[in-house]
A and B are shown apart, each in its own frame.
Chain A
């Protein structure tokens, strides 16, 4: 099955040290400032992407602390209503659009090529462009916030409150345009990941040998393709309502206020699963490694992921149970919301079975994953409560929902994400995070989390609505709110501890070596951190856990170029070698194109004409980006091999 062709004697044997050096030269990013902006290596971009999303996580966390400070006591006047509404809007928007979804894509752009035995992502320049677009969108939003033009209509921006009449000024426009930035970036990352997963897998890695994490990212990326256009459409219609007087959402002119909610939640509910499914992949990877055995029920796990992805698009109305939609129709969405618990339950049972039938190596990554079985399960069960139309009419838009969504999103995503950081940090940096600090980090986070969010269930049942900047003392909500605020402070301490652990490890951490955990998937077969070209030789895969299963012939692909960014393209289902492809070289044009696109997007907040004049620099930058290099084309022609 290998591509081994004696006619390619001009290529050095890739396994020798000269070959490795050539490979490193070929795939590394150029030096210098211009080189820094021209970088397209997937690991470089991914590291920047992860750091950027973590910065937004910290900013969102600071905003959360401000919220908890304001709510810690009744009738508090620490930040007034205007600032509070900006802060909670920024907190939600940051966590959802600038952290939770993109961080999953950021991690995937590092891991996926390494897990499937590829030297790069497909479309590395597009990947760089997507990163820059994301970053500039986030910077724009925070610049607006610092200039007191932060959005204040909630992360969900319901019309008509977010419309031109009730939100004059530019605040909501910055929010809507941030959506354009981040969703554009998310869609491009989805395309990059789908193509990489389907076409760049190492020979032999048929779909039924693909690591569960890669499956999770494939499913997530397809969901992105269907979910994100809905919110881009919705936010674009909002911008045109606000900017040029269209009336999509204006009931007085034949528009409909509920149209926004349908479009937003048609995206918004799947979005929860965009955040939740990649961590399911983290968990499968971590559970297998630390239970010293393959995950029970590989096909069941994949079917569960795919089922979840389909069902996720059939639940959106359960965010709208308090509206006057027909009652019988709502019951359909109750049923769908209950059904989606089944695939999640199957996965949970499979993991428990894996842990129970394995031998446990009890390390920090596993600890974070075990929190999932407590926190996410509780969040899932309160989700079943919210799925009931009648119960939801009491619980909806109360603090019960605040508790629920944090149990789901932190338990389902952030805890596994921290587990993933502890697990793959040695791969990213070559050093192991400190275990003792890791345990402190975990327990403070776990306890702080439950202290912060469990009381909110009770507050909701006691009648406390969401998104209130204050409450009267007579309501009796003060004590539990104070407890919640203390829990939030504990989480903050825990996150600081994590940052300290990272900073200390980067200098003094124990060297990890290629495979500190004794894991079974391909990313652990290369050095930590991996060389620029990932694999000195492209492996040939014979099983689901290549490092755990006996080696078989052939072991690797020979005859790939070390001098050019050559990748092996394989078939979709069986990963049989199909052809070679040269990926593009580093270029500053993705960055400049992102800059030009930013000018267009930000300009169009102020005048529709920006779309006209702003497209000129975008066109120029994109043209330069795609302009072929004569020397590359000539070399490509020269080395062409007839089939």
Chain B
């Protein structure tokens, strides 16, 4: 990771074209609104400060009821005109930003279908040649400088994709298809997180986006297109047997084996991912073991059941999963 975690998910640190456009609009809007805020607060303070003091017995000044107050009205008129002018500037800023966002060049775009699940992300890299398609989960890798079209769907409830460093958010709505177009202009890992309340573990539904140089992206994609590696050592081979003989296969896919279920994340290249459980833990043996053993303790409500494997089987399974690069 090139950035500390706190910089990976920040609307004010744009690392992509779309976020940069919105960042520019933010700066202009913030300046204008700050000016208006200060003007109104100062006007209020001056008005109250300069007015003479009185008490409840002071005779009220009712002269305004008999005739209009032209001087006051002129001032209010000017202030209102200024307010309208400021609002027009904001409207223009919004329209031009929307236009800039819509004009992101889309030639040679990477085509990703992202499906939201409670509480993880399924990503399918699509291709005109179906045999080149592949599926991964919870982490996207994209090439720097090339546009990405993310087609958004939801399998259960509404989710929302928000990677603030790269782009504004877009909802994933059951029964509807939305698209989000973005481009990373700076290499790095950016974090995103579901932004629409989606139930019990909404807080723990993160997504990492790795923006890498185009050549690295092609290498990564070529690897992802391969079926899972044949295990070479005995422990890993035994681990594959464990995987295929237990309930793992009810939900997960490992391409190149008989495990083809789609209820949980595709594990074909699990070991190539940095995190598990939708960005919750680093992907290492200890966390993986804990997760397989009792996911309900770590992320209550998640769809994966606890798996009580004999220690030998578990170690073998972990050895196998670690080969899935």
Query: Judging by beta carbons under 8 Å apart, are A463 and B193 in contact?
Result: yes
Chain A residues with CB under 8 A of B40? 348, 352, 373, 377
* Chain A CB within 8 A of B306 CB: no
Chain B residues with CB under 8 A of A300? 76
Instruction: Given A161-B157, A543-B65, answer yes or no on A475-B9 (Cβ-Cβ < 8 Å).
Output: yes
Chain B residues with CB under 8 A of A548? 60, 62
Query: Judging by beta carbons under 8 Å apart, are B202 and A359 in contact?
Result: no
* Bound form: Cα–Cα A357–B62 in Å: 12
Chain A residues with CB under 8 A of B160? 322, 397
Could you give, for residues 43-64 of chain B, a 1 whenever the CB lies within 8 Å of some chain A CB and a 0 otherwise?
1101110111111111111101
Query: Judging by beta carbons under 8 Å apart, are B98 and A331 in contact?
Result: yes
Chain B residues with CB under 8 A of A314? none
User: How far apart are B281's CB and chain A's nearest CB, in angstroms?
Assistant: 10
* Chain A CB within 8 A of B90 CB: yes
* Bound form: Cα–Cα A160–B43 in Å: 48
Query: Judging by beta carbons under 8 Å apart, are A359 and B62 in contact?
Result: no
Chain A residues with CB under 8 A of B165? 463
Query: Judging by beta carbons under 8 Å apart, are B168 and A359 in contact?
Result: no
User: How far apart are A385's CB and chain B's nearest CB, in angstroms?
Assistant: 5
Q: Can you list 6 pairs linking A and B with CB atoms under 8 Å apart?
A: A158-B157, A292-B58, A293-B64, A359-B61, A397-B162, A476-B5
Q: Say which one of A142-150, A339-347, A441-449, A626-634 lies at the interface with B.
A: A339-347
Interface residues of A in 293-329 (CB under 8 A from B): 293-294, 296-297, 300, 322-324, 327
* For the complex of A and B, 7 pairs with smallest distance between CB atoms: A393-B168, A251-B175, A476-B6, A356-B47, A474-B5, A468-B203, A463-B9
User: How far apart are A356's CB and chain B's nearest CB, in angstroms?
Assistant: 3
User: How far apart are A367's CB and chain B's nearest CB, in angstroms?
Assistant: 10
Instruction: Given A360-B54, A474-B5, A548-B60, answer yes or no on A390-B84 (Cβ-Cβ < 8 Å).
Output: no
Query: Judging by beta carbons under 8 Å apart, are A158 and B197 in contact?
Result: yes
* Chain A CB within 8 A of B194 CB: yes
Chain B residues with CB under 8 A of A462? 6, 9-12
User: How far apart are A621's CB and chain B's nearest CB, in angstroms?
Assistant: 40
* Bound form: Cα–Cα A461–B11 in Å: 5
Chain B residues with CB under 8 A of A381? 33, 36-37
Interface residues of B in 1-54 (CB under 8 A from A): 4-6, 9-12, 19, 21-22, 25-26, 29-30, 33, 36-37, 40-41, 43-44, 46-48, 50-54
Q: Say which one of A485-493, A515-523, A608-616 lies at the interface with B.
A: A515-523
Could you give, for residues 269-301 of chain B, a 1 whenever the CB lies within 8 Å of some chain A CB and a 0 otherwise?
000000000000000000000000000000011
The closest CB in chain B to the CB of A460 belongs to B11
Determine which of A349, A389, A466, A470 lies in contact with B94 in the assembled complex, contact meaning CB atoms within 8 Å: A389
Interface residues of A in 391-409 (CB under 8 A from B): 391-398
Query: Judging by beta carbons under 8 Å apart, are A396 and B98 in contact?
Result: no
Indicate the member of B93, B98, B191, B301 with the most A CB atoms within 10 Å.
B98
Could you give, for residues 149-169 of chain A, a 1 whenever the CB lies within 8 Å of some chain B CB and a 0 otherwise?
000011000101100011000
* Chain A CB within 8 A of B113 CB: no
* Chain B CB within 8 A of A338 CB: yes
Indicate the member of B43, B69, B174, B194 with the most A CB atoms within 10 Å.
B174
Query: Judging by beta carbons under 8 Å apart, are A394 and B168 in contact?
Result: yes
Query: Judging by beta carbons under 8 Å apart, are A545 and B60 in contact?
Result: yes
The closest CB in chain A to the CB of B30 belongs to A385
Chain A residues with CB under 8 A of B22? 390-391, 393-394
Chain A residues with CB under 8 A of B94? 331, 334, 387-391
Query: Judging by beta carbons under 8 Å apart, are A384 and B56 in contact?
Result: no
* Chain B CB within 8 A of A30 CB: no
* Chain B CB within 8 A of A82 CB: yes
Could you give, for residues 236-262 of chain B, a 1 whenever the CB lies within 8 Å of some chain A CB and a 0 otherwise?
000000000000000000000000000
* Chain A CB within 8 A of B314 CB: no
Query: Judging by beta carbons under 8 Å apart, are B195 and A465 in contact?
Result: yes
* Bound form: Cα–Cα A291–B40 in Å: 18
* Chain A CB within 8 A of B173 CB: yes
Instruction: Given A391-B25, A463-B164, answer yes or no on A475-B176 (Cβ-Cβ < 8 Å).
Output: no
User: How far apart are A248's CB and chain B's nearest CB, in angstroms?
Assistant: 13
Query: Judging by beta carbons under 8 Å apart, are B54 and A342 in contact?
Result: no
* Chain A CB within 8 A of B106 CB: no
Query: Judging by beta carbons under 8 Å apart, are B76 and A297 in contact?
Result: yes
Determine which of B4, B51, B65, B198 lies in contact with A358 in the assembled complex, contact meaning CB atoms within 8 Å: B51
Query: Judging by beta carbons under 8 Å apart, are A81 and B37 in contact?
Result: no
* Chain B CB within 8 A of A374 CB: yes
* Bound form: Cα–Cα A349–B73 in Å: 10
Query: Judging by beta carbons under 8 Å apart, are A465 and B193 in contact?
Result: yes
Query: Judging by beta carbons under 8 Å apart, are A341 and B83 in contact?
Result: yes
Query: Judging by beta carbons under 8 Å apart, are B202 and A467 in contact?
Result: yes
Other A-B pairs beyond A257-B173, A296-B76, 8, CB < 8 Å: A158-B197, A161-B197, A292-B59, A294-B62, A361-B58, A387-B94, A463-B11, A476-B4
* Bound form: Cα–Cα A384–B84 in Å: 12
Chain B residues with CB under 8 A of A476? 4-6
* Chain A CB within 8 A of B158 CB: yes
Query: Judging by beta carbons under 8 Å apart, are A393 and B56 in contact?
Result: no
Query: Judging by beta carbons under 8 Å apart, are B101 and A390 in contact?
Result: yes
Query: Judging by beta carbons under 8 Å apart, are B37 and A469 in contact?
Result: no
Determine which of A153, A350, A393, A549 lies in contact with B76 in the assembled complex, contact meaning CB atoms within 8 Å: A350
Instruction: Given A322-B171, A520-B60, answer yes or no on A161-B25 (Cβ-Cβ < 8 Å).
Output: no
Interface residues of A in 581-633 (CB under 8 A from B): none
Chain A residues with CB under 8 A of B222? none
Query: Judging by beta carbons under 8 Å apart, are A545 and B173 in contact?
Result: no
Query: Judging by beta carbons under 8 Å apart, are A518 and B60 in contact?
Result: yes
Determine which of A356, A384, A474 lies in contact with B51 in the assembled complex, contact meaning CB atoms within 8 Å: A356
Query: Judging by beta carbons under 8 Å apart, are B174 and A251 in contact?
Result: yes
Instruction: Given A297-B73, A390-B101, A465-B162, answer yes or no on A374-B79 (Cβ-Cβ < 8 Å).
Output: no
Query: Judging by beta carbons under 8 Å apart, are A398 and B195 in contact?
Result: yes
The closest CB in chain A to the CB of B12 belongs to A461
Instruction: Given A327-B98, A377-B41, answer yes or no on A390-B25 (Cβ-Cβ < 8 Å).
Output: yes
* Chain B CB within 8 A of A554 CB: no
* Chain B CB within 8 A of A85 CB: yes
Query: Judging by beta carbons under 8 Å apart, are A335 and B91 in contact?
Result: yes
* Chain A CB within 8 A of B170 CB: yes
* Chain A CB within 8 A of B102 CB: yes
Determine which of B6, B25, B41, B203 lies in contact with A474 in the assembled complex, contact meaning CB atoms within 8 Å: B6
User: How far apart are B114's CB and chain A's nearest CB, in angstroms?
Assistant: 14
Determine which of A342, A355, A360, A388 lies in contact with B90 in the assembled complex, contact meaning CB atoms within 8 Å: A388
Query: Judging by beta carbons under 8 Å apart, are B60 and A361 in contact?
Result: no
Instruction: Given A361-B54, A461-B11, answer yes or no on A549-B62 (Cβ-Cβ < 8 Å).
Output: yes
Chain A residues with CB under 8 A of B30? 385
Instruction: Given A291-B51, A359-B54, A462-B10, answer yes or no on A389-B98 (Cβ-Cβ < 8 Å).
Output: yes
Query: Judging by beta carbons under 8 Å apart, are B61 and A293 in contact?
Result: yes
Indicate the member of A476, A543, A545 with the most B CB atoms within 10 Å.
A476
Chain A residues with CB under 8 A of B191? 463
* Bound form: Cα–Cα A257–B156 in Å: 11
The closest CB in chain B to the CB of A163 belongs to B157
* Chain B CB within 8 A of A34 CB: no
User: How far apart are A130's CB and chain B's nearest CB, in angstroms?
Assistant: 32
Query: Judging by beta carbons under 8 Å apart, are B203 and A396 in contact?
Result: no
Interface residues of A in 559-584 (CB under 8 A from B): none
Determine which of A292, A339, A342, A352 lies in contact with B44 in the assembled complex, contact meaning CB atoms within 8 Å: A352
